[in-house]
Structure 1
Amino acid sequence: MLRRSAALFVALVLGSAATAGCSAASAPEPAGAPLPSATAAQVAPVPTTEAPSPSAPAPPSATPTPTPGAPVSVDVSGTVTDGLESPWGLAVLPDGDLLVSGRDDARILRVSARDGTRTEAGTVPGVTSGGEGGLLGLALSPGFAADHQVYAYLSTASDNRIVRLGYDPARPAGSQLGEPVVLLAGIPHGPRHNGGRIAFGPDGLLYAGTGDANERPLAQDRDSLGGKILRLSPDGAPAPGNPFPGSPVWSLGHRNVQGLAWDPQGRLFASEFGQDTWDELNHITPGGNYGWPDVEGTAGRPGFTDPVAQWHTADASPSGIAHAAGSVWMAALGGARLWRVPLAGDRLAGAPQEFLSGTYGRLRTVTADRDGTLLLVTDNTDGRGDPRPGDDRILRLVVNGR
């Protein structure tokens, strides 16, 4: 996508949900089976302060919570680490260290929050990289401090799937991961639109964003796992209370979900790649139909839920999102910038603001750390970016109210 400016249009959520029954989606392997080896609106820019050079992160400091509709500034306080290859997923460990996945090399690295030192936890077997597939999202179990379980979304030669692995940092570097256990297989796979973001919600259940694998009808097919947000129990079974009995589907009509985040009231938001016209930020409701491929962006059509906000694709191509300081923060790949979307409940509280436009290239993942700072992952080594010295890197950002 060209990195060019375009006007930003926003739309309030109209809120509607589709209701119907659905049978459980089938998977080629039972949950719990071991993973086989693979064979094959107008926006006014806001000034930012850049990091002078890669360095250890600044000590955590309290970050004020701005009024949702008020402008803020963002400072890059430091570089946590650099020299990463095609980083994708990010998880914050209880001690503040980070786990980061490499899409193309299938490795999980541990990054010290103190000095940026990297240790290889291990390589996840059975991963097939290529196109937009590979080792993608990471999530820690809700009981990680006790059970040391890591969840991963990955691509094989035939499908995308969600697995669980034990993690023991006391073992030698490179061999700290246990054998992966398949929790859900059969998510459609293709060279494009593989989804990949996973996260545990405030309800303790696992959510996964999938793509249509470049087969558009899958997004409206309730028997397919493609083009959906899925809601699962920690063992991979369809979660109790899902809108379609026996099915893991939580919402449908998605082209390629890339980010998941909740606000303090438990509302779920998701970012989504559009095709040629509109990228979206959506408020997700159970059973909601978000329109793809019949609708892209705001349409006001009965039966479909309009986005909270939309962007021309050159300004966004959104990936990961985080909720912090009364806003959703959205990393943009093609747009090469960080968007702040101020919210009042499930509606916009003001015009979105852009930060770091073009400064660090493609931005893949943003995560809220527990001290109120944001962690931002660049992605210029994925074959679509322009790598710069030190790429790829994890930056620490401080949000300041005005």
Structure 2
Amino acid sequence: MRFLRNATLALWAGGLSFGAQAQAPVLTTFPVGATTVTVSALATNRNTIWELVWGPDNFIWMTERSGRISRVNPTTGQVVPVVTIADVTETGESGLLGMAITPAATPAAYWVFVVYNYTDQGQLKEKLVRYTYADGALANPLVLLGNIVATTTHSGSRLLILPDRTLLMTTGDAQLQPQAQNTASLNGKILRLNLDGTIPANNPIAGSRLYTLGHRNPQGLTQLPNGNIYSSEHGPNNDDEINKIEAGRNYGWPTVEGNCNLPAEMTFCAANNVREPLTTWTPTIAPAGLAYYDHPAIPGWRGSLLLAVLKDSKLTQLTLNNTGSAIITRTDFLTTFGRLRAICVSPEGRVYVGTSNRDGRNTPGPTDDRILVLENRMYVTSTARGAGSFSFELFPNPASRQATVQLPAPNAWLTVRDLLGRPVLTLHPNGTTATLNLANLRPGSYLVQAEGPNGKSTRKLVVE
């Protein structure tokens, strides 16, 4: 196991390259600023792709709504089935939904969390299950949360593991609109649990899994390195939303649709600590998977949310301001591949998008559903550029609350990543010296990546 961990660190330190992407046939291209983004198909003939997650094994993990979980080789596109969950009920919009993955005790064994609908005594329900992945198989399913009221629509559900090793889970209102405001109900909420299913002691309501309330059907969830959390949410016939998620806040549904701009809404918002959305769409677009992009491969997308859209069949870039408190532009791409539901970003800056044309809401093409790869094929990784010519100092190391980075030149980006490659902190210092605030990071090993005009370099950092 020690050799595997060291080998993984060496690959990350070599520029986060885990094998070159095969040059699949080009389906189309489009510009993002001065960058040409190439679109190709990584995998085809799937059935309603619901989730894509970049795994700790450097494979793409995929759920399909019928109950199948697979690992997809990002270089060859080979789809390796892992398990088909027998008690998944796929009906209407229900079935196997969101997934999240985190390491357990060793690099070769980790936990896989999934949420899905099932039938209990003739009634449709929803549950959260944790599996252990080891030796190529998922085993030891443990139900962390079950018996959630469900229906064939408005089930959510995305999962997100936070750096403090708690889990967020979105739930829809299951067409029981008043339950979104009922703190005793699990519907129409974002829930927060420990990874063993227990309730965190610092949740907004003591003894409750509730993290936020007043949601209709949130189907996208992501966190930025600065800790900001964002969700996409389906509105009724108006006001699809992108929300900044803040613990304990109320998001208004069903009294408030979109912003607090009607008399009854303004009264409710003032009395109930309602957080207004960052942006809305009327007519609705059906927003789904949400990811954060901050990689030099496609500079025009840096600092943006990328949103997979179902009804309007597009990928939308949502450019954030410096603090992440506002969306300043919305730009649409990828409008010719039908319904888009799932999205993930690799450590090498490639974007993987899953289509959802076999979900009963569209006419599928002959190779649907597909995982599409969006990439800048002209981007050269640091290994090929000779990253050894670009170095920086990092001290103290080990560090506790903060560390100092001394750069060889200004205008560099700093990214701190965990050993899964997930960014946990980003910084763009003005000069050649920067201070990393480590107070919110758990003790352990991290990788500090510095990239400037002259190259890129990575160093290991130990946080005590």
Cα deviation per residue 1:236-266 (whole Å; 9 max; x = unaligned)? 1122211011111100000001011011101
SS of equivalent residue, structure 2 residue 134: coil
Question: How many angstroms apart in 2 are the aligned matches of 1:238 and 1:146?
Answer: 27
Counterpart residue number, 1:356: 334
The counterpart of 1:166, out of the listed 120, 123, 132, is 132
Corresponding residue to 2:309 among 332, 344, 362: 332
Distance in 2 (alpha carbons) for counterparts of 1:74 and 1:207: 35
Partner of 1:67: none
Q: Aligned partners of 2:245 and 2:290: how far apart in 1?
A: 14
2:257 to 290, 296, 319: 296
Residue matched to 1:107:
68
Cα 1:110–1:218 shift into 2, 3 Å: same
**Counterpart position of 1:25:** none
Matched, 1:220 2:181: yes
Q: Relative contact order: is structure 1 or structure 2 higher (C-alpha 8 Å, sep ≥ 6)? A: 1
**Range moving further from structure 2, 276-285 or 292-301:** 292-301
CA-CA distance at 1:267 after TM superposition:
0.5
Query: Any conservation in 1 of the 2:103–2:110 contact (CA below 8 Å)?
Result: no
Q: Is the 8 A contact 1:338 1:355 kept in 2?
A: yes
Among all aligned residue pairs of Structure 1 and Structure 2, give the percentage whose two residues are the same amino acid.
Answer: 36
Structure 2 equivalent of residue 312 of structure 1: 282
In structure 1, what is the equivalent of residue 199 of structure 2? 238
Mapped to 1, the partners of 2:142 and 2:292 lie a distance apart of: 30
Aligned mates of 1:252, 1:349 — CA distance in 2: 22
Structure 2 unaligned residues grouped into runs of 5+: 1-20, 25-31, 294-301, 380-464
1:128 matches 2:128: no
- Per-residue deviation at 1:350? 2.4
Q: Could you list the per-position Cα deviations for residues 78-103 of structure 1 after superposition, in whole angstroms to 9, with x for gaps in the alignment? A: 22111101111222222321121110
Aligned to 1:90: 52
Q: Secondary structure at the match of 1:180?
A: strand
Moved more, 319-328 or 295-304: 295-304
Which moves more between the two structures, 301-310 or 330-339? 301-310
Secondary structure (helix, strand or coil) at the match of 1:125 reads coil
TM-score (norm 1): 0.77
**Does the Cα contact within 8 Å between 1:74 and 1:397 map onto a contact in 2?**
no
CA distance in 2, matches of 1:73, 1:306: 34
Equivalent position of 1:249 in the other structure: 210
- The letter of the residue matching 1:141 is T
Superposed counterparts of 1:176-215, under 5 Å: 176-215=137-176
- Counterpart residue number, 1:389: 366
Counterpart amino acid of residue 361 in structure 1: G
Q: 1:337 & 1:178 partners in 2: Cα distance?
A: 36
Partner of 2:391: none
Give the letter for the 1:323 counterpart: Y
Provide the C-alpha distance between the structure 1 equivalents of 2:108 and 2:200, rounded to a whole number of angstroms: 22
Q: What is the rounded CA distance, in whole Å, between the counterparts of 1:366 and 1:386 in structure 2?
A: 21
- Compared CA separation, residues 313 and 183, structure 1 to 2 (3 A): farther
**Cα pair distance change 1:74/1:222, threshold 3 Å:** farther
Aligned partner of 2:96: which letter?
A: L
Q: CA 1:237/1:119 → structure 2, altered by over 3 Å: closer, same or farther?
A: same
CA distance in 2, matches of 1:349, 1:89: 25
Give 1:277 shift.
0.7
In structure 2, relative to structure 1, the CA distance for the partners of 1:74 and 1:120 (3 Å cut) is same
**Letter of the structure 2 residue corresponding to residue 318 of structure 1:** P
Q: Is the 8 A contact 1:76 1:395 kept in 2?
A: no
Distance (Å, rounded) in 1 between the aligned partners of 2:303 and 2:152: 36
1:80 aligned residue: 42
Q: Shift of the alpha carbon at 1:147?
A: 3.1
State the shift of 1:289 in Å: 0.5
Distance 1:132 1:74, change over 3 A: farther
| Higher relative strand content | 2
- Supply the AA of the counterpart residue of 1:305: R
Q: CA separation of 1:368/1:313 partners in 2, compared to 1, >3 Å: closer, same or farther?
A: farther
* 2:109 equivalent among 119, 143, 147: 147
Tell me if the contact between 1:124 and 1:180 (Cα under 8 Å) persists in the aligned partners. no
Whether contact under 8 Å (1:98, 1:110) holds in the other structure is: yes
Is 1:367 the counterpart of 2:336 in the alignment? no
Distance 1:169 1:181 in 2: 18
What is the one-letter code of the residue matched to 2:281?
W
Q: Report what 1:261 is aligned to.
A: 222
2: CA distance between counterparts of 1:393 and 1:293? 35
Paired letter, 2:222: A
Does residue 379 (structure 1) correspond to residue 340 (structure 2)? The answer is no
In the alignment, structure 1 segments of 5+ residues that lack a partner are 1-55, 60-69, 171-175
Q: After alignment, is 367-376 or 284-293 more displaced?
A: 367-376
- Cα distance change, pair 387–241 in 1 and its aligned pair in 2 (3 A): same
Give the whole-Å Cα distance in 1 for the aligned partners of 2:238 and 2:247.
26
Which deviations, in whole Å up to 9, do the C-alpha atoms of 1:211-240 show, x marking residues without a partner?
A: 000110110000111000111100111222
Structure with the higher fraction of residues in helix conformation: 2
Do the aligned partners of 1:280 and 1:297 also contact (CA within 8 Å) in 2?
yes
Seen in structure 2, the aligned counterparts of structure 1 residues 286 and 58 have a Cα distance that, compared at 3 Å, is farther
1:112 CA drift (Å): 1.2
Q: Which amino acid aligns with 1:131?
A: G
Match of 1:343 in 2: 320
